[in-house]
């Protein structure tokens, strides 16, 4: 997520959401405006460097020319490798990793991260291309969860799932076309839960690599839940079983 945010609302939201901002630039004269008081308070509370510069410098940094006198630089996210998630799960009878099979919306990625952190999951696994990455939008929708949750980024999701099996994980793919529902599925213990993309669901090779495909029960007429909502439902079923077995706090 190395890059810049621009605009008063965007920078304020980033600071309020604890996005790892490393510096804020304010145009000459902006520091005296009313909104700047809140921005400066948040920046100084997080030890973020604030610089007052000529507006022309912000024009050079702006992608859209709509910086409103405020630009922030965001630190790159510190991804881990899948092996790190395996190590974190070592010795745990109940462990949940959620793998995102090319989820595209960073808002969905952040919401999924929030669920995984809340239920005590080990971390997230995402592809390094053609998929949402950890951005300011993801940070905001995670409600701070991405400050505490490891995210592994790898080139080959299928290889990671195969490795997970070797490490004693059961790989479960979520698919609305599956015959098995989550109440009947083997969601106990060490699980890698694979969630598909918003439009296409699970890719063919990923689906073939899963040990089991599961669906959410549905009685109404509305289309199935979106990927973030579905992750929450399945993750809480995992947590319910883990607590019943005495494995999760």
The answer to whether 111 and 143 are in contact (CB under 8 A) is: no
Looking at residue 181, what is its pLDDT?
A: 92
Q: Where are the domains of the chain?
A: 3-74, 82-244
Looking at residue 192, what is its pLDDT?
A: 98
CATH class of the domain defined by 3-74: alpha beta
Looking at residue 66, what is its pLDDT?
A: 78
From residue 228, give the alpha-carbon distance in Å to each of 50, 68, 116, 180, 189. 35, 33, 10, 20, 22
Looking at residue 144, what is its pLDDT?
A: 83
User: How far apart (Å, rounded) are the C-alpha atoms in residues 66 and 191?
Assistant: 45
CB atoms within 10 A of CB 238: 25
User: How far apart (Å, rounded) are the C-alpha atoms in residues 222 and 246?
Assistant: 36
Looking at residue 172, what is its pLDDT?
A: 97
Looking at residue 202, what is its pLDDT?
A: 95
From residue 163, give the alpha-carbon distance in Å to each of 19, 70, 130, 148, 192. 32, 45, 22, 24, 11
Looking at residue 10, what is its pLDDT?
A: 84
Residues lower than pLDDT 50 in the chain: 1, 249
User: How far apart (Å, rounded) are the C-alpha atoms in residues 156 and 169?
Assistant: 17
Tokens describing residue 221: 């007429």
Pick the CATH number of 82-244 from 1.10.10.10, 3.40.1280.10, 3.40.50.300, 3.30.70.360: 3.40.1280.10
Looking at residue 218, what is its pLDDT?
A: 81
User: How far apart (Å, rounded) are the C-alpha atoms in residues 59 and 104?
Assistant: 30
Predicted model pTM: 0.84
């Amino acid at each position: 997520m190395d890059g810049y945010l621009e605009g008063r609302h965007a920078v304020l939201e980033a600071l309020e959401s604890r996005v790892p901002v490393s510096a804020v630039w304010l145009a000459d004269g902006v520091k005296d405006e009313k909104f700047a008081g809140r921005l400066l308070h948040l920046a100084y509370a997080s030890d973020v460097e604030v610089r007052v510069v000529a507006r022309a410098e912000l024009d050079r940094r702006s992608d859209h020319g709509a910086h409103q006198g405020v630009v922030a630089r965001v630190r790159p996210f510190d991804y881990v490798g899948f092996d790190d998630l395996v190590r974190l799960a070592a010795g745990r009878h109940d462990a949940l990793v959620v793998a995102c099979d090319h989820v595209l919306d960073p808002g969905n990625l952040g919401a999924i991260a929030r669920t995984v952190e809340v239920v005590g999951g080990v971390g997230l696994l995402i592809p390094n291309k053609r998929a949402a990455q950890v951005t300011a939008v993801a940070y905001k929708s995670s409600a701070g969860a991405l400050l505490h949750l490891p995210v592994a980024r790898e080139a080959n999701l299928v290889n990671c799932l195969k490795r997970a099996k070797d490490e004693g994980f059961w790989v479960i793919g979520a698919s609305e076309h599956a015959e098995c529902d989550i109440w009947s599925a083997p969601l106990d213990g060490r699980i890698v839960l694979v969630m598909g993309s918003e439009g296409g669901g699970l890719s063919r090779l990923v689906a073939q690599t899963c040990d089991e495909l599961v669906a959410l029960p549905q009685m109404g007429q509305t289309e199935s839940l979106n990927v973030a909502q579905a992750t929450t439902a399945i993750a809480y079923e995992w947590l319910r079983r883990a607590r019943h077995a005495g494995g999760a706090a």
